Chain A
């Protein structure tokens, strides 16, 4: 039961998913004991074991609750990733997610995309953009790390080197600012 506490503190998505089997083994052992004791009560007539059964039942429920709450919290954070980071996750993050979580993320992405396409007439509306009300069409950005070539709408490309400053359209760089590649500079 003490092991479960560790998961509650490891709230970050960055904790590996591999630690989870310990909890599963715990639940399995408890369940096994539970079945044995229950059979004893039913067939052997030992009704004094009922408190023991209740105790183990409570422990099982508790373990289940901790496991489910942990998994649900992870899902909430993965969902937030779609809104805060974008639709393509970096490999480092994806490494820490289980296959089911990646699949869930893809389903969520798809649902969100379908919904966005259904808004605003023919072409849909990207609601993950402009999360803060924009004040101008073009913004001043500074590069925080080397990114490479970046193509702007009219065909010209900009080289994004560390500490270079550019004046770019807001809708092109919003994604990059949120990912931490660029920094929005206020004049």
Chain B
């Protein structure tokens, strides 16, 4: 309750990521399939099996398929597709979209890419013709899953919640934690512990860490 550390929130669900948000940095590190539209000289050193060898200046040839992280894809992409053109990852294509519309609750979103919603929202920058469908699918998936997240986070008091969060992606886990925090704060108030001064969480973590350092 008396927390003083406020981390920079993720902006991935909005128009742009937050520059300083660590969550966004982790999210934009995920890869997406990409096709090069022009040869890229001297970068063959990174992907040795694709490079053209010394004659072509160690280039990555035109038309090769790569998997680039989102930040790189965003940086190299432009409207005229001069350097790269982006393909949608499978989970945002039609096949998986029908799976989500069938029953969104069953899907393991953590396995499919721990930042499903954030990554999907940022994908919309790449001007694919399916953008409207993708955004609709993201929204409907979330609506389908939300009820269960809210219920489980508000009713799991003092239990092991790993089974409940196993299939949630990062954004949903954040929501779940918020719900849990609200529940814990309320229970603490009900028990009359709301006025109890507690040691700062930093001190507690530091003590625990020191203990493990000494043992390990």
Chain A residues within 8 Å of B, Cβ to Cβ: 5, 8, 11-14, 37, 48-49, 51-52, 54-55, 57-59, 61-62, 65-66, 68-70, 72-73, 76-77, 79-85, 92-93, 131-135, 139, 174, 177-180, 183-184, 186
Q: How long is the Cα–Cα vector from A183 to B204 in the complex, in angstroms? A: 12
Chain B residues within 8 Å of A, Cβ to Cβ: 1-8, 19-22, 25-26, 29, 38-43, 71-72, 75-76, 83, 192-207, 209
Q: How far is the CB of A90 from chain B (nearest CB, A)?
A: 9
Q: Is the CB of A85 within 8 A of B200?
A: yes
Q: How far is the CB of A182 from chain B (nearest CB, A)?
A: 9
Known: A52-B41, A55-B76. A84 touches B201 (CB 8 A): yes
Q: How long is the Cα–Cα vector from A53 to B199 in the complex, in angstroms? A: 51
Q: What residues on A are CB-neighbors of B8 within 8 Å? A: 69, 72-73, 76
Known: A54-B75, A72-B8, A84-B4. A132 touches B197 (CB 8 A): yes
Q: For B74, give the chain A residue with the smallest CB separation.
A: A58
Q: How long is the Cα–Cα vector from A28 to B174 in the complex, in angstroms? A: 36
Q: Is the CB of B203 within 8 A of A51?
A: no
Known: A14-B206, A69-B20, A73-B7. A8 touches B25 (CB 8 A): yes
Interface Cβ pair total, 8 Å cutoff:
130
B38's contact among A37, A51, A57, A69, by CB below 8 Å, is which? A51
Q: How far is the CB of A9 from chain B (nearest CB, A)?
A: 9
Known: A51-B83, A58-B72, A84-B200. A180 touches B207 (CB 8 A): yes
Q: Is the CB of A52 within 8 A of B20?
A: no
New A-B contacts (11) at CB < 8 Å, excluding given A80-B3, A84-B5, A178-B203: A5-B29, A8-B26, A11-B22, A49-B42, A51-B39, A77-B202, A133-B195, A179-B200, A180-B200, A180-B204, A186-B193
Q: How long is the Cα–Cα vector from A71 to B54 in the complex, in angstroms? A: 40
Q: How far is the CB of B117 from chain A (nearest CB, A)?
A: 20
Q: How long is the Cα–Cα vector from A73 to B197 in the complex, in angstroms? A: 26
A184's contact among B7, B20, B83, B198, by CB below 8 Å, is which? B198
Q: Is the CB of B201 within 8 A of A51?
A: no
Q: Is the CB of B202 within 8 A of A68?
A: no
Q: How long is the Cα–Cα vector from A13 to B192 in the complex, in angstroms? A: 33
Q: For B40, give the chain A residue with the smallest CB separation.
A: A51
Q: How long is the Cα–Cα vector from A169 to B15 in the complex, in angstroms? A: 52
Known: A51-B76, A133-B194. A76 touches B200 (CB 8 A): no
Q: Is the CB of A52 within 8 A of B199?
A: no
What are 25 A-B pairs with beta-carbon distances under 8 A? Answer: A8-B22, A8-B26, A48-B41, A51-B83, A52-B43, A54-B76, A55-B40, A69-B8, A69-B22, A72-B8, A73-B8, A80-B202, A81-B202, A82-B4, A93-B206, A131-B2, A132-B1, A132-B196, A133-B194, A177-B199, A179-B200, A180-B199, A180-B200, A184-B197, A186-B192
Q: What residues on A are CB-neighbors of B1 within 8 Å? A: 132
Q: How long is the Cα–Cα vector from A37 to B1 in the complex, in angstroms? A: 53
Q: Is the CB of B192 within 8 A of A52?
A: no
Q: Is the CB of B4 within 8 A of A134?
A: no
Q: How long is the Cα–Cα vector from A15 to B7 in the complex, in angstroms? A: 18
Q: What residues on A are CB-neighbors of B41 within 8 Å? A: 48-49, 51-52
Q: How long is the Cα–Cα vector from A54 to B68 in the complex, in angstroms? A: 14
Q: Is the CB of A62 within 8 A of B42?
A: no
A178's contact among B22, B29, B83, B200, by CB below 8 Å, is which? B200
Q: Is the CB of B198 within 8 A of A177?
A: yes
Q: What residues on B are CB-neighbors of A65 within 8 Å? A: 19, 25
